[in-house]
């Protein structure tokens, strides 16, 4: 089935409410540039946040150590990070679109939106193996895959998975946060994906990255 998504920039509050309704974790990314809403016939069917992780320039520098993303002139960064890449922070789709091709069509629409509305070169994301996700949606959307890596996070009240820095923030804001919530440290794998948005970016990815990018995708057994 063909889904005609109308992509609109929405506010944080609307995105957060949608995530609370449909996502396994209601925690929202800290650094967000765009909150995108995906509408079908004026009804909100999905949201995506585009932004960065806790160390956005260092993340990209790890992938492309010779990119110059950390270079400065007069204490200002030479490269505008928005012109280099965005990271998918949260992707949430309404349950009535489960088991359809809506996810891959949504990402295809996102590529077009980024090309039209930004100068960015790459779309970056990490699939959450700790929640049983190896990145099948990104595989269906022709992202390139590089590696899996082991990490840890915290599960709050058996529901919300939070980054260690996020947990630290919550505890600093509320000294009784740990005592009031059931917090478990969990370990697992994460899977790194990248999508080049033009031919130049594709060439850079294939020739100048410190990582090997391919479509030799991880599967179910790689989650363990």
pTM: 0.88
CATH number at residue 85: 3.40.630.30
Q: End-to-end alpha-carbon separation of the chain, Å? A: 34
- The answer to whether residue 179 is domain-embedded is no
- The answer to whether residue 55 is domain-embedded is yes
Band (169; pLDDT cuts 50, 70, 90): confident
Distances (CA, A) of 113 to 108, 118, 119, 212: 9, 8, 11, 27
- The answer to whether residue 168 is domain-embedded is no
- The answer to whether residue 139 is domain-embedded is yes
* Number of domains the chain contains: 1
The DSSP call for residue 126 is E
pLDDT above 90 (res 196):
yes
Could you tell me which of 149, 153, 139, 38 has the C-alpha nearest to residue 94?
38
- The answer to whether residue 23 is domain-embedded is yes
Give the span between the Cα atoms of 109 and 88, in whole angstroms. 14
Residues in the chain: 224
- Judge contact between 46 and 92, C-beta under 8 A: yes
Which segments within 41-75 are labelled E, that is strand? 43-52, 72-73
Q: Which domain holds residue 35?
A: 6-152+190-223
- The answer to whether residue 1 is domain-embedded is no
Residues 13-71: tens digit of each pLDDT:
999 999 989 876 777 888 999 999 999 999 999 999 999 988 999 999 999 999 999 99
| Alpha carbon 216 to chain centroid, angstroms | 20
- The answer to whether residue 196 is domain-embedded is yes
pLDDT reported for residue 37: 98
Which residue in this structure is represented by tokens 């599967």?
Answer: 219
The DSSP call for residue 198 is S
């Amino acid at each position: 089935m063909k889904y005609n998504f109308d992509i609109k920039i929405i506010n944080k509050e609307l995105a957060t409410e949608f995530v609370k309704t449909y996502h396994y974790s209601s925690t929202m990314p800290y650094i967000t540039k765009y909150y995108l809403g995906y509408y079908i016939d004026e009804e909100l069917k999905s949201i995506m946040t585009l932004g960065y992780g806790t160390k956005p320039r260092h993340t990209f520098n790890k992938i492309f150590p010779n990119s110059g993303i950390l270079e400065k002139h007069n204490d200002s960064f030479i490269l505008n990070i928005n012109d280099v890449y965005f990271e998918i922070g949260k992707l949430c789709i309404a349950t009535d679109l489960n088991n359809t091709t809506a996810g891959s069509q949504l990402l295809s629409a996102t590529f077009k939106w980024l090309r039209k509305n930004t100068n960015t070169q790459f779309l970056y994301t990490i699939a959450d193996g700790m929640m049983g996700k190896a990145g099948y949606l990104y595989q269906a959307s022709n992202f390139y895959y590089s590696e899996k890596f082991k990490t840890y996070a915290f599960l709050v009240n058996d529901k919300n998975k939070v980054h260690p820095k996020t947990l630290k923030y919550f505890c600093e804001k509320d000294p009784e946060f740990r005592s009031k919530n059931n917090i478990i440290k969990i370990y697992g794998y994460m899977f790194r994906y990248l999508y080049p948005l033009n031919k130049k970016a594709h060439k850079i990815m294939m020739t100048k990255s410190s990582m090997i990018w391919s479509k030799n995708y991880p599967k179910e057994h790689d989650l363990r």
